[in-house]
Structures are given as C-alpha cells and as structure tokens.
Amino acid sequence: MSIIFYNYNNSILDEIENKILIDVFGYTSGILVAITLLPQIYKTLKNKTAKHLSFKFLIISVLASILKIIYGILINQLPIIITSPIILIETIIIIVAKYIYDSPD
C-alpha cells in the first residue's frame, strides 16, 4: 500500500519544471536546517561551553544525518546528498567543542 501525496502525471508542470520544483524545496530545506545550527556553533565557540546542549541530542543528530545521507544516495536525490553532510559537519563541530570545553580538567 502506498500513499501518493504528489502525482507527477496530474501536475500542470512538465517533467523538468517538476524536477526544478523538487530540487528548490530540497535545497532550501537543507540550507535552512544547516542555518539553524549556526547560532549554536557561534554560542558554543564564543562562550567556550556547550553545557546547554544535550549530548544525546547531538548523537541523535549525527545518526540522523548519516542515515539521511544514505537515504539520499539510495533515492538518488542530490539536494539531500549535498546538504546532509553540511549538517553532519556542523554537529561534529559542536560535539568536538563540547568535548574540549566541557570535559573535566
């Protein structure tokens, strides 16, 4: 059983316009998610602490990014394949900063 949310065959757009529309939504969502982590990176590096961030959240974020990269490869969607590693790198930066700044001396 499958659920169809958007049917290419009933669209008023042609095949190329559909691909452009899908890519625009894909890249935009990936970029926006990546932008949401920038304030956290800035705050962590500026204050030299990441105590405000849960380590569990960061690990789940890393796993989600890795799975999203694999998913993007499996469905051959370039917007997912390109933006997910950016989010993964940002999360790893925060994890490294948390380890450096919040580790007991």
pLDDT in tens, 29-60: 999 999 999 999 999 999 999 898 899 999 99
The confidence score (pLDDT) of residue 70 equals: 95
pLDDT band for 5, please (50, 70, 90 cuts).
Answer: low
The confidence score (pLDDT) of residue 1 equals: 64
Is residue 102 classed exposed, middle or buried when 0-12, 13-18 and 19+ CB atoms within 10 A define those classes?
Answer: middle
Query: How many domains, in total, are found in the chain?
Result: 1
Strand, helix or coil for residue 83: helix
All residues at 6 or more sequence positions from 104 whose CB lies less than 8 Å from its CB, including other chains:
none
- In the predicted model, is pLDDT for residue 10 greater than 80? no
21 located within any domain: yes
19 located within any domain: yes
Distance, in Å, from the CA atom of 51 to the CA atom of 60, rounded to the nearest integer, reads 17
6 located within any domain: no
pLDDT band for 21, please (50, 70, 90 cuts).
Answer: confident
Q: Give the CATH number of the domain where residue 64 resides.
A: 1.20.1280.290
Task: Note down the domain range covering 27.
Answer: 14-102
